[in-house]
Structure 1
């Protein structure tokens, strides 16, 4: 069944600031989400110590490294890392236009999920800008495979995710989350799922200068005996792991530069697979069309969207 889609672009009603530490650098960082005009999109503005700044549009063409998180930009001095959790919150709440000012090289990890970003955006409020929103509607299957992993887009009357993972530990095994994505579904079923990792990998990551800010306060840690080290256990019985992978997928696909109408499926995926599948979709002009609604209602169905002739609309471009 189709899900409701918003007719008009939005932004935050007022600036809101969030502070924490970077999961990889361990350094303190503050970000401020600022209102922006219709058509701005999502822009990360990294402020430098010398008073200059680097602007990075949150689009597929700007995705650099995807090994341990999603990075926008292609050089350490002019990039912003770990954008996926805040982007997932922005996408799920239907926030189209915002300038995210940050004073560090990565987003704060907070509690390892999107929950605090959701709370901050809702605290600031979301306003309707009165300008029609455009969507990317998937027209045909697009698939990316690498080894045993794969990810794909399929046509669908709404926005749906079906994410499946498999890990060689009895604590996780094979898990799947599937459902239509709405703001309420994201808040109820996905937003509080935390990033996770294995204790056996910690020393290797530290030696590489990674995960320096990781702790039991922001990550689910799995011990060598296949148990959760965190005293409080899991937030979602058994499957917090696949819920977080779905959260990551939402954030990574938000880098389409527009909301999409279609089904996204993946097996043993991650940031790299999400990015590769998105680029495969957007590089094939026969695989999608740009649509908007002509129905002046608060929400519309995907089937009520109409294709528009918009050659200038390239949301994945810089």
Structure 2
């Protein structure tokens, strides 16, 4: 199985969630073994997607280098991961990736427009060899060995519109587009008001976020999925785990996970060479290659 990139350059203009300003984003093909590279056109700074370049996880996953940041990368990375793209350049002229409608379906449509091509180099994956866990009280994120890529997530909010939700997602491109990609980010009205008082969430509105008050959901159209809240958590987790730099073969399990816990998990995995094995998907790895070929079709 070969590495992938996009077939042609594509671009869009959207609003950043926190700054609320227009952002031009351009996606361009990259040759094999370059990975995913972010580029701030207004600063002339490239930021490779690497675990050590994650500088903040408070409200989103943020990359940084030389005091230059790119924020809210997780939704785009989630779609890129679902499409099996290994090499791509992402250029923006401001600090944030456009929020689109709060999900990743818009990025999927952009990648469909760009098309996917295979390169000459063999694709590599990270296969989890033993359980690794990060815990914060009763919250945790964990990876375990598996011959599939699975995201198994649970949440419990003391709100009548959410309550307890669980969802187990067996990874494939088609299943991602059907089950995960349309799940939107969500927040509570009192939090939105607080964030805006701090100069954040300036671009957030009912067209790009599920907003809840104490009585229920404010969005008139309602939910896109019965378990939209936990499905969005899976969407985020897929994007955050892409920071590993290679596709994950293993089972990701979480209760109330967050960007912070996901970032700590990727760091802990990469710091322990006994926790994983890098597998080249060549012909001799027939079973593993077959599983990943199915996943990204």
What TM-score results when the alignment is normalised by the length of structure 1? 0.89
Verify the 8 A CA contact 1:293 1:304 in the aligned structure 2: no
Partner of 1:302: 288
Verify the 8 A CA contact 1:158 1:301 in the aligned structure 2: no
Matched, 1:81 2:71: yes
Give the counterpart of 2:223 among 234, 237, 259: 234
Partner of 2:206: 216
- Mapped partners of 1:167, 1:278: distance in 2: 26
Partner of 2:295: none
Partner of 1:62: 53
Verify the 8 A CA contact 2:78 2:236 in the aligned structure 1: yes
Give how far 1:130 is off.
Answer: 2.2
Matched, 1:19 2:13: yes
Partner of 1:308: none
- Mapped partners of 2:171, 2:290: distance in 1: 18
Q: Secondary structure at the match of 2:17?
A: coil
Matched, 1:288 2:276: yes
TM-superposition CA deviations, 1:214-234 (whole Å, max 9, x none):
000100001121x11001010
- Mapped partners of 1:209, 1:264: distance in 2: 34
The answer for unaligned runs of 5 or more in structure 2 is 292-297
- Mapped partners of 1:151, 1:81: distance in 2: 22
Give how far 1:211 is off.
Answer: 0.5
- Mapped partners of 1:179, 1:252: distance in 2: 16
Verify the 8 A CA contact 2:187 2:212 in the aligned structure 1: yes
What is the RMSD computed on CA atoms of the aligned residues?
1.6
Verify the 8 A CA contact 1:198 1:222 in the aligned structure 2: yes
Give the counterpart of 1:182 among 156, 161, 172: 172
- Mapped partners of 2:243, 2:91: distance in 1: 17
- Mapped partners of 2:203, 2:283: distance in 1: 47
Partner of 2:87: 97
Partner of 1:272: 260
Partner of 1:309: none
Partner of 1:247: 235
Matched, 1:126 2:116: yes
Give how far 1:157 is off.
Answer: 0.2
Cα 1:303–1:102 change in 2 (3 A) is closer
Verify the 8 A CA contact 2:159 2:214 in the aligned structure 1: no
Give how far 1:168 is off.
Answer: 1.1
The answer for unaligned runs of 5 or more in structure 1 is 1-6, 306-318
Q: Secondary structure at the match of 1:79?
A: strand
- Mapped partners of 2:47, 2:242: distance in 1: 14
- Mapped partners of 1:159, 1:152: distance in 2: 13
Verify the 8 A CA contact 1:157 1:303 in the aligned structure 2: no
Give how far 1:301 is off.
Answer: 3.0
Give the counterpart of 1:37 among 31, 34, 53: 31
Give the counterpart of 2:2 among 2, 8, 16: 8
Verify the 8 A CA contact 1:200 1:224 in the aligned structure 2: no
Give how far 1:293 is off.
Answer: 2.1
Give how far 1:176 is off.
Answer: 1.1
Partner of 1:193: 183
What TM-score results when the alignment is normalised by the length of structure 2? 0.95
Give how far 1:302 is off.
Answer: 2.1
